[in-house]
Structure 1
């Protein structure tokens, strides 16, 4: 990856050097900055088993690992990285137990990109522990809660673990010959207790609508998300779920975002995806301060060559922009190459 920033450079070891994170695009720097990086940390392994139990019913177990754990390894000599758990689930009789993609996320509309996520700005992107029941196109889940809070006046992020109830997600997906359309609702409690003067909760809700439309061998993928208190669910936590007011009470932060992507198959061996993604936060700057992210957006286009079904080589160009409430802005241009063998 070769990255050029309009306002400085992300420091070595910053996770934004490995893949695009909207809230990390530098702003307010005096000079342009460049960075070149190479890594194989996206390598992953997925193991699954399907077993018929003694009662005649099926049980599926899955575990998936990659090497994107932080902090980063040492690039001076060994370039060693620790494996991390991405997915670990068991599925039985319509029930799922364990850690996997949030029910609030429609994984099937993620664009095919070289970047680890791609259209990150407007994408719901969370893996976490849950209990989920699915029947037909309907899924209902109770998922692990976690609240991110902006202190009164700004100045960082508080990651609280004070929730008394799980996040509730309901999703319905309609599948047709032309593709699918899906809608999900997130209802969650935002909570923060500092063990002293602050002990506050706030209820928030959000909506996500997504679709994939087949156009012959090609397809269009889209997603739109809006609501209060999404926080960490949207844009890799580009905005927090809530902000503390002067009285020490939580107030949810409204945000929205979306993506649209078109994938075109040029031949049996060549394909490309063009995608656009955006994020916007409705910050009450009297509470959050002026140093928080107001909006981000990115566009990317790639070309992928597969000499065989299992092997792919790709090149991708991305342009991203970030605006902060105080008027500062910055952009990033990134050229990326990849090689992937799927087996």
Structure 2
């Protein structure tokens, strides 16, 4: 009994001791835990402080980068603002930026032309063409001497010159509103005169700059000196001579106002009347008495096959108190026969067409013995075949002619009138070799004949060579 009691007492006290032991254990452990917690917090605080420092450093670096980027953008904007305006869309000239400092914003300035050396040997049947005249420099049918029997042209004669060298300047602008502006000036060294002391072939061969074209374009309008709207420049053959088919082609540059819309173009151009004297056949000085401008209209269509155009001309002629009117028409174009061949042509006819055709081979009008003014009828044309033998060698064969209807029934028709030009014609053939792009070396043979009303005639034979570099 006693033993069982003691055993039970011991067993009943064990649970009571366990809470006390746990409390003592916690009490003993608490200082260590508190100490450990304090160290951990300090470590965390140190890490947090370190992270805060790193974040602050990153923020400072980002702010510096943003400031640098802003400064760089400002500098780039300043550089862009200082740069010339960009070139307009389309085919660009050689320079990268516009260089016309005095032009409108966005203006593109361009420069071009060619250097051309011509050397020719001429043989005329009925006398010699005067030295220094235009007929010695290129084919001008009105300068072919016609003297009749007993007159010999003598030996052939040679001329060498570079007067047809040319240069042009152009300033082109497209406004923000899409308007197109163009200023164009073109010059060469033929026809401008020369210094009487040094401008000759004795020593310096100095020749003056000569105005060819000078005009401004605004969208569809052109104002200034340019090719006449009655002339189809695109139909001219690939000649070594300045023109080649001079007899039957229209060839006029003059001041005008022109409007172009689609296939149509119209112009009012500088009027001028050339006058021949029926009694003597001599050409009177040009009349500046005109009041109305020469009026032209043209219709043009083109495609891969070439182009075709028709032009009309209306004119008033005036000399003192006498007036007359005239009208003419021109049909011309270019037809591609394939990759290597094309045909170029022109046909002209009308009353008072003289000044516009063949460099004034015939006069616009004639003055009869009663002082009456009459428009002179004229006809002319040319045809030319161009063939490319290779990418570097090409050739051309050309024929041209002009006829004038001199009215012998006019009062005062006299002996002198029998010497006026009735017709002229010519044929040319050439070969042009281009060893390098833009460089042409060519040779051409030509034969021309001029006939007058009394059936006398004179001819011209010429061999011409050229070297031409375009830029």
- Fold conserved between structures, TM > 0.5: yes
Q: 1:240 aligns to what?
A: 363
Can you list the C-alpha shifts for 1:167-206, whole angstroms capped at 9, x where unaligned? 000000011221111000000001111xxxxx21111000
How far, CA to CA, are the matches of 2:369 and 2:256 in structure 1?
Answer: 34
Aligned partner of 2:455 in structure 1 is 327
Gaps (5+ residues) in structure 2?
A: 1-119
Structure 1 position 291 matched with structure 2 position 291: no
Question: In structure 1, what is the equivalent of residue 289 of structure 2?
Answer: 162
Give, in whole Å, the separation in 1 of the partners of 2:432 and 2:363: 35
Map 1:32-111 onto structure 2 (within 5 A): 32-33=153-154, 34-53=156-175, 55-71=177-193, 73-111=199-237
Count matched residues: 338
Question: Alpha-carbon deviation of 1:233?
Answer: 0.2
Query: Quick one: distance in 1 between partners of 2:147 and 2:210?
Result: 34
- Do the aligned residues in 2 keep the contact of 1:153 with 1:286 (CA within 8 Å)? no
Over the aligned positions, Cα root-mean-square deviation in angstroms equals 1.2
Preserved CA contact (<8 Å) 2:387 2:395: yes
Tell me, yes or no, if the aligned pair for 2:449 and 2:458 is still in contact at 8 Å. Answer: yes
Counterpart in the other structure of 1:304 = 432
d(CA) in 1 for partners of 2:180 and 2:449? 48
- Give TM-score, length-normalised by structure 1: 0.96
How far apart, CA to CA, are the structure 2 residues paired with 1:136 and 1:39?
41
Q: Secondary structure at the match of 1:153?
A: coil
Does structure 1 residue 259 correspond to structure 2 residue 382?
yes
| 120-129 vs 213-222, greater mean Cα deviation | 213-222
Q: Which runs of 5+ in 1 are unaligned?
A: 194-198
- Larger helix fraction of residues: 2
Per the alignment, residue 144 of structure 2 pairs with: 25
**Separation (CA, whole Å) in 2 of partners of 1:285 and 1:38:** 41
CA-CA distance at 1:52 after TM superposition: 2.0
Secondary structure (helix, strand or coil) at the match of 2:355 reads helix
Is 1:201 matched up with 2:320? Answer: no
Tell whether the 8 Å contact from 2:193 to 2:208 is kept in structure 1 after alignment.
no
* 1:230 matches 2:353: yes
Cα deviation for residue 70 of structure 1 reads 4.9
Q: Does the 8 A contact of 2:229 with 2:296 survive in 1?
A: yes
Counterparts of 1:94-243 in structure 2, within 5 Å, are 94-158=220-284, 159-193=286-320, 199-217=321-339, 218-243=341-366
CA shift, 1:69, in A, is 1.3
Query: Secondary structure, in 3 states, of the residue corresponding to 1:38?
Result: strand
Q: Is the 8 A contact 2:281 2:418 kept in 1?
A: no
CA distance in 2, matches of 1:90, 1:243: 36
CA distance in 1 between partners of 2:360 and 2:427 (Å): 19
Quick check: 2:297–2:311 contact (8 Å CA) kept in 1? yes
The answer on whether the counterparts of 2:173 and 2:182 sit within 8 Å (CA) in structure 1 is yes
1:196 matched residue in structure 2 = none
**Which structure: larger Rg?**
2
Shift of residue 71, structure 1, vs aligned partner: 4.1
Residue 130 of structure 2 is aligned with which of 11, 20, 28? 11
Deviations 1:112-145 (A, max 9, x none): 1111111000000000000000001100000001
Q: Is 1:315 aligned to residue 443 of structure 2?
A: yes
TM-score by length of 2: 0.70
